[in-house]
Amino acid sequence: MDPRPVGIFDSGVGGLSVLRALRQLAPHERLVYFADTAFFPYGPRPAAEVRKRAFAVVHRLLASDVKLVVVACNTASAAAIADLREAFPVPFVGMVPGLKPAVGSSPNRHVAILATEGTLDGELYSRVVDDFGRGTLIDNIPGPGLAELVEHGSCGTDAARAAVRRALAPAVSAGADTVVLGCTHYAFLAPDIRAEFPGVAIVDTGEAVARRALQVLAENGLEAPSHSAGELDLIVSGDRDRFRETMRRLGFASDLTGATP
Ligand code: DGL
């Protein structure tokens, strides 16, 4: 049993989609969420720069005595997960677009991968394509501007609907029947995608990543005692009030209690 918190980070609000799943599955785990909004977006930045940020963020999380780090960001995982594992003495759980489940469930064997440039250009993703993509038509879609829409709290607006339409219409008209949300920000656009493309299946790996984190805690004897309170601490590198406002808009109002001022 280990009462120390779990660290989670992303460039902004995206990783909250993983945090939400983690809180549902293990409400007694204490969490420290680091939103690196001063460096948002990670997607278009060179991998070396994202790696540098990932190291800085993990150093800060370790100063909060975290027992495990969830890299709740596909872009940061692509740029840094192997190096982080080598450099730090805590276990890491990273993310990669859910191509494997999508391929397994796509009737047309035609899937659209919505992820940032950094993720799509990364070695981690190419390995997943090599391992699981054979025999499947894969449309890699960088979705420019989508993460920004979410970060500004604009999910569910006409602008969000138009942006997902623009990004996905060519692939869907060409027969893609499954969309993989390969960026944690995009999880918050799922209702807009569903509204625009009702026949298309959506693959979001947020819950699977949360389950994996719990499995790693269990394997290492790091689970929190079940009577723990499970508070949430927030660290925001940019504008904290703005971040809290977006959190509220995304439905995280109750999670704000107990956050570090
Ligand atoms: N949420 C991040 C991801 O999962 C990307 C957003 C950004 O570009 O910063 O890839």
CA of 80 relative to ligand 1 center, distance in Å: 13
Spatial CA neighbour of 65 closest among 224, 256, 237: 224
**40 CB under 6 A from ligand 1?**
yes
CATH 3.40.50.1860 fits 99-204, yes or no: yes
Do 81 and 94 touch, CB atoms closer than 8 A?
Answer: yes
Which of 8, 10, 70, 189 to probe ligand 1 with, by most ligand atoms within 8 A of CB? 10
User: Atom 8 of ligand 1 has which residue's CA nearest to it?
Assistant: 43
Three-state SS for 14-44 is CCHHHHHHHHHHCCCCCEEEEECHHHCCCCC
Q: Looking at the domain 6-94+207-256, which fold is it?
A: Rossmann fold (3.40.50)
**Taking the domains of the chain in order of start, what are their residue ranges?**
6-94+207-256, 99-204
Give the nearest ligand 1 atom to 73 CA. Answer: 4
Q: Tens of pLDDT along the chain (261 residues)? A: 899 999 999 999 999 999 999 999 999 999 999 999 999 999 999 999 999 999 999 999 999 999 999 999 999 999 999 999 999 999 999 999 999 999 999 999 999 999 999 999 999 999 999 999 999 999 999 988 999 999 999 999 999 999 999 999 999 999 999 999 999 999 999 999 999 999 999 999 999 999 999 999 999 999 999 888 889 999 999 999 999 999 999 988 766 554 554
Which of 57, 73, 125, 148 to probe ligand 1 with, by most ligand atoms within 8 A of CB? 73
The reply to whether domains 6-94+207-256 and 99-204 share a CATH topology is yes
CA of 73 relative to ligand 1 center, distance in Å: 5
